[in-house]
Structure 1
Amino acid sequence: MTPATSPNKSDSVRLGLHSCHTGTCKSKKTRCDKKTPCSSCARAGKKCTYPPNGPRVRRTKKTMMAEMAGRIAVLERSLAEVAALKGSGAPAKDNCTANDPSNTANHSRLSDDLLLNEGSSSQYFNEVLVAKIIGEDKSIEAALKRSHTKQSTCSPSPFDAMGILSSPCFSQRPSIFHPSKATAMELWNRYLNKVEICIGLKLIHVPTGEVRVYSTINDPNSTSFEDLAFCYSIYFAATISLEESNSLLMLDKNAQLSYYKAGIEQAFAQGDFLNRPTLTVLRALAIYLSAVRIHNRGKSIWILNGLAIRIAQSLGLHREGTQLKPPPFESELRRRVRWHLITRDSRAGEDYGLDDPNIYVSGSEVNLPRNIDDADICPDMEELPPEKNGWTDMTFSLINIDLAKTLEKVKNAMSSRNTLCEDERRSIISEAQSQVQKRLEKCNQVTPFSVLRYTAPISSCKNSTSSQVSNGLRSTMEDSKACP
């Protein structure tokens, strides 16, 4: 070790007292290992220096305000540049596109793409804001890599959904995980009152679903695997909504969730759900994945949602029911499941930092579910009733579909480098807002559920507007890069 690299006694004392001064530890408030250089600065590729001996110098309020003012100034300059490009960049775009036929939609999105490599694994991002932030801040990139490495050593979690691909254990039936009758009935009612409204699109036809649930509760040992999976997914989703002190929990909450999770996994495995899927199994999988996503927004949920979409395709749910000619009641339930899966697929991709257009939503040939109540349809009916004009059990779900389709219109416009201007993009959002308000006109804002149903779509509309602005900003930035 050379004298230049060997810290002397005073260096050791200094490193033992202070974190690095100019690196990432101070700016990101992370723990410094006090090496030379420290590991955070080494990962970020930044210079690492330590403060001199003596009392620690505290940052004054004036210094912090100056730093904040500097950051705001940088942001204002960036916005000013974008505003200037928005006023003068449109003609350049046309000339550039005409002169360079290779300037395609896929090429235009390359600036948004980011690939993080960690050994043999990698993570891909193409959502403009996520990719930009991670690409510019190496400490965030390093943190993502560290979290990916640590996941393999974590203890089993009830929110790790990969267990649905477990091997069957034929020595014990899945029914051994079924709760008592009283607990099961309470969980079913809680699902209807607390969970179904929040889980996405309405999946269950309550009158027929109730018969299926109570038949399972009465005799779980003789129940089919698909019905057990259906019930366990309901119990799992309902348990997530419970407080730790709730009397329905026989164990602590995570242990109880793991118990029902084991029941779901074995019901799927012993029922051979990949080779012999049914609409009931698919509905159970959709409920389970929606519930798990509340606490697990990792890549696995997005991938497994793709598995559910492929199962739906194997059942023909991607084709309109009137073409396949199943009974009218079954056609309506198939539409509900199909639209739930494809709208959830976009949102799960957003969690993972992906912003690709969803061809399932924009190119779907399946009709929307009808705006009717569950009581209006039954299995033996020969024809579906006409849609209602007022608020029904399906109105909230239809609003979610309207918003999902609107976001896909904006994504498709941006992805295809369409000449869609800002006013036209705003027109798309405005049209969706008008449609939502039209559906909300007959909503009675008296009960708490009604208030939730009324306010949630309005909040989603605001989120759509924010997404539209983000996409518009990306379009302008891409035009400026493609046509300097």
Structure 2
Amino acid sequence: MASSSEPGGPRPHACVLCQRRKVKCDRRDPCTRCAKAQVECEYRDPLPPRRRRKKNSEATMADRISRYENALQKAGIDVASLESDDAQAPVVRTATRDNINDMDVTNAAARAPSAASDVARENTPRHGSGRLITKKGKSLYLDNHLWKSVSHELQDAEDIISEDESEKSAASQTQIGEDFNSSFLFGSRQTLTHFHPNTIRIFKLWNTFLEGVNPIIKIVHVPTLQKRILDAASDLSSLSPELEALMFSIYSTALLCMQDDEVEKYFEESKPTLLSRYRQCTQQALVNAGVLGTSELMVLQAFVLFILSIRLVYNPHILWSLSGICFRIGQRIGLHKDGSKLGLSVFETEMRRRLWWEVTVLDSTIGHMAGCESHMRPMTDTKGPCNINDSALDPNMKENPVESSGPTEMIFCLMCYDLGAWLSRHENLKTSSFDGLWEFLSSTSISLEHKDSIIDEIEGLFEAKYIQHCDLSIPLHLVTFVVAKSAVACVRLRAHHPRQYQDKGLPIPQVERDLLFRLCLSILEYTDLLFSSPKTQKFHWHIDFHFPWDAFIVMLLELRHRSTGEDAAKAWQLLDVVFRRQYKALNQRRKSALHLAVANLAIKAWSAQVTESERRQVDPLPQPQVISVLWRYVNRGTSSTSNSTSTSPAPFSMSSFMLNNNTTERSLRPAEQVVKSPSRVSVTRSTSGYILTKAGNAGSYNYNQNVQSLPLSSRERDSYPMIDGDHNLSDVNTMYSMDDSPMDWGQWDTLLQQFQEYSSGDMDMFCASPLA
């Protein structure tokens, strides 16, 4: 109701904007401040004061005290003894310099705990004495003595949540960019109704989400959410803010599962354009839902999906901050406490478990990328989710569901949660927190035998619970099978990594080198299987986030010494397939020091293979197609720097990674600056592509690199980088040291960290412009 006053006279109270800003208002119409800011000046009558709660009668107080005494007696506490203790309690005096010592002596007996109190204190959990307040799907967990005391004194403890609702309502009514609950990070509220796709496209995105996102990110209950989405699609103007945020986050993650041509077919727009728009809409929808102060489970679900949709385009340090906000929201809602101890329904307890475990896995994974570690896990007592399908859950169920003994829709998620729980159980083996939960695997203070026994534990668990039950004809089971196998190989590679020998100044035993090679070969086979199988294509958006760079680097290191044999041929074939996929879209925007370093290492490993074949006078392996790409890529990087007259950084030096401190460092040089050798490699162009020819004492052989056979578009084929000039085999030997000097794993770790921090995001979370 608008405020009324005499025409021309001052208003009886300040305007809405000045009240919210807590500044003095001259109470004109409009007031000076609103006129200066060119915003609407609105006056509203203040809300009527709340009625004070009537004092309880003596009879009510006596009845309440009696109930409390009965509760204490049931808990094994003698109320009579408490009264006698109070009567004998010493008088508290004001502490002064003269009597403070007397106070310490007088109160010493009172401070000395009894045996019973010791037992009670030991049995009382340090965390878990909080209070959960729920109202209409919202929840707020209070784990602070002050807040808990205040909440018990409120006429209705739900008023704490109601105050948040009233603030949100007032902010949405004013529509002025002054909502300090979230605008300082995300921006002001805006209407998004006209940004939704039409009904048919909504159903397409929803079905895509069910096929490619929901099976591996189980944080929504499909039967209940599907009904809400179907209802909302018919009237988008009446969407609640929390459901709208979740729907836009579903659009964003669903698009990640779709191929470019599929997006253009159904939406008549390019995938990057549409994905960028829906990401921004999700961000705006989270603002509208008041994400930073939310008590809504659905808003947190939307926030988790939003973070998943931006993992490959945002800097890991930004993601780390966002995952921290996500973690704190979960803590505020009380997800870190198991719902069975909070009196929640069976359905709500299970959905909270699923969401909390996904939040912790997300926080740990992003923290590892950013070089940080979460220290908030020990405070949780939330049980793991049940092994049940969504169909076994119902919002009205009263009894706990019976868990399945076989695979369910939760198979992939439960496998990931078991891996996280296994890492957490062995946190006590860590010697530092630099490498997060994974640190104990790379620690040199733990014997390899002990590490292997720990890894055997998780391998046996995966085999018994998941691998043996997988039906590889089912896409979700195939992904679970491969990821479980690959995860065990990756943790074992981490435990046996060559860097531990460098740290001790010891050579790598041949037995260890054989094991490392087999592990890397397995990891690359699993990677190739995931990316080559049509069944797993819809999950590539998630797999791309976990690229096995360590296995690549160690494999290339070993190939310098394994030039012949079936294993070497198989390794080069796998490297070629996966390399070409990784470097397919290589351009200036994606060029990084890690790409250049791996390219150098690959060329060095291949030149070792050619040299060994020449020495043995045998035909070498067919040259991988990617070698030509990498050669051109490396030469482009070095020549562009040498021709530049600016004060740009020096060319990348592979010798800094290959040579130890006692070896003279040689920097990369353009090919024309290298002294020619009798053994030549020349490149000629034919109608079928490029032919790399070697002539020398060992005879001659050709490698036909047919560009036309590559899976490229005509535009990509025309610009596909190949060798275009004469190069010597000695050029490679001069540019890349062929000795057996140890790798500098510290610098490789730095490159990996810098690559993970590299971002090519299409928007800025903190400077997002309004949607147009």
TM-score (norm 2): 0.38
Q: Does the C-alpha gap of structure 1 residues 467 and 211 become closer, same or farther in structure 2, counting only changes over 3 Å?
A: farther
Q: Distance in 2 between matches of 1:471 and 1:307?
A: 37
Q: Which residue of 284, 289, 293 corresponds with 1:275? A: 293
**Residue of structure 2 in register with 1:462 after alignment:** 489
AA paired with 2:365? Answer: R
Q: Distance in 1 between matches of 2:498 and 2:214?
A: 31
AA paired with 1:453? Answer: T
SS in structure 1 at match of 2:492? helix
**Residue of structure 2 in register with 1:88 after alignment:** none
Give the superposition deviation at 1:203: 1.1
1:451 is aligned to 2:471: no
SS in structure 1 at match of 2:404? coil
SS in structure 2 at match of 1:306? helix
Give the superposition deviation at 1:287: 1.0
Kept in 2, the 8 Å contact 1:403–1:464? The answer is no
**Residue of structure 2 in register with 1:481 after alignment:** none
Give the superposition deviation at 1:477: 5.5
Q: CA RMSD in A?
A: 2.7
Of 460-469 and 397-406, the range deviating more from structure 2: 460-469
Give the superposition deviation at 1:269: 1.4
Q: Distance in 2 between matches of 1:477 and 1:209?
A: 56
Of 215-224 and 334-343, the range deviating more from structure 2: 215-224
**Residue of structure 1 in register with 2:450 after alignment:** 424
Pair member with larger Rg? 2
Kept in 2, the 8 Å contact 1:286–1:341? The answer is yes
Kept in 1, the 8 Å contact 2:411–2:480? The answer is no
Kept in 1, the 8 Å contact 2:245–2:289? The answer is no
Q: Does the C-alpha gap of structure 1 residues 304 and 211 become closer, same or farther in structure 2, counting only changes over 3 Å?
A: same
Give the superposition deviation at 1:344: 1.4
Q: Does the C-alpha gap of structure 1 residues 275 and 460 become closer, same or farther in structure 2, counting only changes over 3 Å?
A: same
Alignment of 1:139-218 (within 5 A): 165-170=185-190, 173-198=191-216, 201-218=217-234
**Residue of structure 2 in register with 1:333 after alignment:** 351
Give the superposition deviation at 1:353: 3.0
Q: Distance in 2 between matches of 1:348 and 1:369?
A: 22
Q: Does the C-alpha gap of structure 1 residues 474 and 276 become closer, same or farther in structure 2, counting only changes over 3 Å?
A: farther
Q: Distance in 2 between matches of 1:164 and 1:175?
A: 23
Give the superposition deviation at 1:431: 0.8
Q: Distance in 1 between matches of 2:192 and 2:501?
A: 50
Q: Distance in 2 between matches of 1:468 and 1:213?
A: 47
Kept in 2, the 8 Å contact 1:362–1:405? The answer is no
Give the superposition deviation at 1:411: 4.8
TM-score (norm 1): 0.60
Q: Which residue of 401, 405, 410 corresponds with 1:389? A: 405
Give the superposition deviation at 1:168: 2.2
Q: Does the C-alpha gap of structure 1 residues 367 and 234 become closer, same or farther in structure 2, counting only changes over 3 Å?
A: same
Kept in 2, the 8 Å contact 1:207–1:374? The answer is yes
1:248 is aligned to 2:275: no
Q: Deviations over 1:409-447 (max 9, x none)?
A: 445412369975432222221111111111222222223
Give the superposition deviation at 1:164: 10
Give the superposition deviation at 1:360: 4.0
**Residue of structure 2 in register with 1:379 after alignment:** 395
AA paired with 2:275? Answer: L
Give the superposition deviation at 1:387: 1.4
**Residue of structure 2 in register with 1:310 after alignment:** 328
Q: Which residue of 417, 420, 425 corresponds with 1:401? A: 417
**Residue of structure 2 in register with 1:231 after alignment:** 247
Q: Deviations over 1:84-110 (max 9, x none)?
A: xxxxxxxxxxxxxxxxxxxxxxxxxxx
Q: Distance in 2 between matches of 1:203 and 1:231?
A: 14
Q: Does the C-alpha gap of structure 1 residues 424 and 230 become closer, same or farther in structure 2, counting only changes over 3 Å?
A: same
Give the superposition deviation at 1:475: 12
AA paired with 2:384? Answer: L
Kept in 2, the 8 Å contact 1:232–1:264? The answer is yes
Q: Distance in 1 between matches of 2:227 and 2:273?
A: 28
AA paired with 1:457? Answer: A
SS in structure 2 at match of 1:274? helix
Give the superposition deviation at 1:383: 1.9
Q: Does the C-alpha gap of structure 1 residues 217 and 477 become closer, same or farther in structure 2, counting only changes over 3 Å?
A: farther
1:259 is aligned to 2:286: no
Give the superposition deviation at 1:187: 0.6
Q: Which residue of 293, 296, 299 corresponds with 2:314? A: 296
**Residue of structure 2 in register with 1:414 after alignment:** 430
Q: Does the C-alpha gap of structure 1 residues 337 and 244 become closer, same or farther in structure 2, counting only changes over 3 Å?
A: same
Kept in 1, the 8 Å contact 2:183–2:287? The answer is no
Q: Distance in 1 between matches of 2:195 and 2:183?
A: 15
Q: Does the C-alpha gap of structure 1 residues 445 and 263 become closer, same or farther in structure 2, counting only changes over 3 Å?
A: same
Q: Distance in 1 between matches of 2:345 and 2:211?
A: 29
Kept in 1, the 8 Å contact 2:215–2:409? The answer is no
Q: Distance in 1 between matches of 2:184 and 2:269?
A: 22
State the number of aligned residues.
311
AA paired with 1:248? Answer: Y
Q: Does the C-alpha gap of structure 1 residues 431 and 297 become closer, same or farther in structure 2, counting only changes over 3 Å?
A: farther
Q: Distance in 2 between matches of 1:210 and 1:189?
A: 10
AA paired with 1:426? Answer: D
AA paired with 2:248? Answer: Y
Alignment of 1:10-25 (within 5 A): none
Q: Does the C-alpha gap of structure 1 residues 272 and 397 become closer, same or farther in structure 2, counting only changes over 3 Å?
A: same
**Residue of structure 2 in register with 1:145 after alignment:** none
Of 436-445 and 332-341, the range deviating more from structure 2: 436-445
**Residue of structure 2 in register with 1:349 after alignment:** 367
Q: Does the C-alpha gap of structure 1 residues 470 and 411 become closer, same or farther in structure 2, counting only changes over 3 Å?
A: farther
Q: Deviations over 1:267-321 (max 9, x none)?
A: 2112222123310000011111112113435211121011100000110011111
Kept in 2, the 8 Å contact 1:410–1:471? The answer is no
Q: Does the C-alpha gap of structure 1 residues 370 and 262 become closer, same or farther in structure 2, counting only changes over 3 Å?
A: same
